[in-house]
A and B are shown apart, each in its own frame.
Chain A
Amino acid sequence: MFLRKTVPTIIASISGVVVVVAYFFQITPIGTLADHILKWRSVIAVFALGLGGVNIIRLHTKNIQRDPKNFYSAALLLTFAITIVVGLTMGQTSAPYTFIFDYINVPTGSAIFSLLAFYIGTAAYRAFRAKNAEAAILLITGCIVMLGRVPIGAKILPFTAPATDWIMSVLNVGGQRGVMIAGAIGFIAVSLRIIVGLERRAYGGE
């Protein structure tokens, strides 16, 4: 109990207070300590990354043990091992390592990102069905904004361009700011509960 809750609570409280004080006050020793705390955070995150790596290896090794034909798990473990070996032995600036990053990692990431364009289409197709009053409003607003955002839309229906500007700068911004302000107040509440040790989930439970 002491090691699992009291010690983390003390560390979190001191770290939280120091970083907040360093933000608002110009006290050199506190500022230096806050910088150190932020660096320690990065170091701790690297240790956690090790835990994550162990989890990946354990999970996919089990998958292969259960089904030796599991191609996906085998491919993941193989690429995982190759990347680590190349990175450790040849360095992160070596040609093989940058090849893996520039010609495998970046393009595959971009491919997943590109799915977003198609998913926007399928989501819009489902959302733009006037099933009830709210959906009808969404449909009408969506149509106005889509027409107002393209030159031909404003040519067909000239009112869509100023209507789009009004929707985006008044309704949209107003709603988003409401969410942001309320979210920020919620952030303060959660942070305060963590600093005083009342946010039990922050320490993994009770």
Chain B
Amino acid sequence: MSIFTEGRVFDLVTLIVVTGLMGLYMHLARSGLKVKIRPIAGFAAIDEAIGRAAEMGKPVHFTPGFGGLVAATFAGLEVLGYVARLTAQYDVRLVVTVSQAETFAVTEQVMRQAYLEAGKPEAYRPEDCRFISTDQWAYASGVIGVLYRERVASNIMIGQFAAEALILAEAGNTVGAIQIAGTTNAYQIPFFVVACDYVILGEEMFAAGAHFTNNKVHLGSLRAEDLVKAACLAIMVIGAVMTTAGSDVLKTLMSK
């Protein structure tokens, strides 16, 4: 009996190669490799959104979405760190709503840390980091309530979203908030595109750390991600050509 799980050998080799490449580029970036990233409009608009809230004297609302501690939520929390630092600096109230309990504990800590980094730990209000509910629709109605009652000037939604995405975005639009949204859920991106002012599309979210902090590790992994994407494209083209030519070698290899 083989030690490998059947049908996952190619996946394992791919994971090892991708991981190795990421490790290599993280190391190279730390050693001085220059990596440039293109400006992302959604991230650039965050300063504008917080500035607007400061001028209007109204709060900013942020939510990392309905997901638990998944990669998209971590990307959202990276943005939250920046938003919280900025709101602390400009004395703007930041209200954060969370749907999953495990995310709530981390979110609270991210906010505390950001206020500390901004030099205003006393400005952090624990009641502004709110656990709403693990139930999807209770969470949606809770966030709608916060948006209406607090009359927020800016609504930032970056993380994992599901069917509640459009409900939240439309509620934010109704109160006249400037809206910045981002998710990796391909089914919800169109809803954000039609209802929000700025949208961070899918993988752009993972550039948050590199964009806001110029973190070398993040920059290095972004370079590796781009190379992996190029490799995926090449495999797709080769696969299409081979299949058209009647060869299923690549398909057989990938199913091993």
Residues of A within 8 A of B (CB): 20, 23-27, 44-45, 48-53, 55-56, 58-59, 62, 72, 105, 108-110, 112-113, 115-116, 119-120, 122-124, 126-127, 138, 175-176, 179-183, 185-194, 196, 198-199, 201-206
Nearest A residue (CB) for B109:
A204
How many A-B contacts if CB must be within 8 Å? Answer: 189
A27 to B130 CA separation, bound complex (whole angstroms): 42
A contact residues around B229 at 8 Å (CB):
181-182, 185
A112 to B221 CA separation, bound complex (whole angstroms): 40
- The answer, yes or no, to whether B1 is at the interface (CB within 8 Å) is yes
A181 to B186 CA separation, bound complex (whole angstroms): 10
Within 8 A of A (CB), among B148-177: 163, 166-167, 169-170, 173
- The answer, yes or no, to whether B81 is at the interface (CB within 8 Å) is yes
A201 to B76 CA separation, bound complex (whole angstroms): 10
B contact residues around A190 at 8 Å (CB):
71, 74-75, 206
Does B5 lie within 8 Å of A23, measured CB to CB?
yes
A194 to B170 CA separation, bound complex (whole angstroms): 34
Does A25 lie within 8 Å of B101, measured CB to CB?
no
- The answer, yes or no, to whether B248 is at the interface (CB within 8 Å) is no
Does A24 lie within 8 Å of B225, measured CB to CB?
no
- On whether A186 and B127 interact (CB within 8 A), knowing A112-B137, A123-B166, the answer reads no
Does A113 lie within 8 Å of B166, measured CB to CB?
no
Does A192 lie within 8 Å of B75, measured CB to CB?
no
Does A120 lie within 8 Å of B184, measured CB to CB?
no
Enumerate 22 A-B pairs (CB-CB under 8 Å) in ascending A order. Answer: A24-B11, A26-B4, A49-B101, A49-B134, A51-B101, A51-B105, A52-B134, A53-B131, A58-B127, A112-B140, A112-B167, A116-B167, A123-B191, A123-B195, A175-B186, A176-B187, A188-B19, A190-B206, A194-B74, A202-B74, A203-B106, A206-B117
- The answer, yes or no, to whether B22 is at the interface (CB within 8 Å) is yes
Nearest B residue (CB) for A175:
B186
A105 to B224 CA separation, bound complex (whole angstroms): 46
Does B22 lie within 8 Å of A24, measured CB to CB?
no
* A interface secondary structure, majority: helix
A191 to B232 CA separation, bound complex (whole angstroms): 19
Interface hit among B33-41, B45-53, B86-94, B197-205: B197-205
A182 to B200 CA separation, bound complex (whole angstroms): 13
Q: Quote the shortest CB–CB distance from B161 to chain A (angstroms).
A: 13
Does B202 lie within 8 Å of A205, measured CB to CB?
no
- The answer, yes or no, to whether B18 is at the interface (CB within 8 Å) is yes
Does B166 lie within 8 Å of A179, measured CB to CB?
no
- The answer, yes or no, to whether B44 is at the interface (CB within 8 Å) is no
Does A205 lie within 8 Å of B203, measured CB to CB?
no
- On whether A186 and B203 interact (CB within 8 A), knowing A44-B102, A51-B101, the answer reads yes
Residues of B within 8 A of A (CB): 1-5, 8, 11-12, 15, 18-19, 22-23, 26, 68-72, 74-75, 77-78, 81, 98, 100-102, 104-106, 108-110, 112-114, 116-117, 126-127, 129-131, 134-138, 140-141, 145, 163, 166-167, 169-170, 173, 184, 186-187, 189, 191, 193-195, 201-203, 205-206, 209, 217-218, 221-222, 224-225, 228-229, 232
Does A109 lie within 8 Å of B136, measured CB to CB?
yes
B contact residues around A58 at 8 Å (CB):
126-127
B contact residues around A183 at 8 Å (CB):
72, 184, 186, 202-203
A contact residues around B5 at 8 Å (CB):
23-26
Most buried by B among A180, A187, A196: A187
Does B170 lie within 8 Å of A48, measured CB to CB?
no
B contact residues around A204 at 8 Å (CB):
106, 108-110, 112-113
Q: Quote the shortest CB–CB distance from B100 to chain A (angstroms).
A: 8
A contact residues around B70 at 8 Å (CB):
187
B contact residues around A25 at 8 Å (CB):
3-5
Does A45 lie within 8 Å of B101, measured CB to CB?
yes
A193 to B155 CA separation, bound complex (whole angstroms): 28
Nearest A residue (CB) for B174:
A122
A63 to B5 CA separation, bound complex (whole angstroms): 55
Q: Quote the shortest CB–CB distance from B170 to chain A (angstroms).
A: 4
Q: Quote the shortest CB–CB distance from A192 to chain B (angstroms).
A: 6
A23 to B5 CA separation, bound complex (whole angstroms): 7
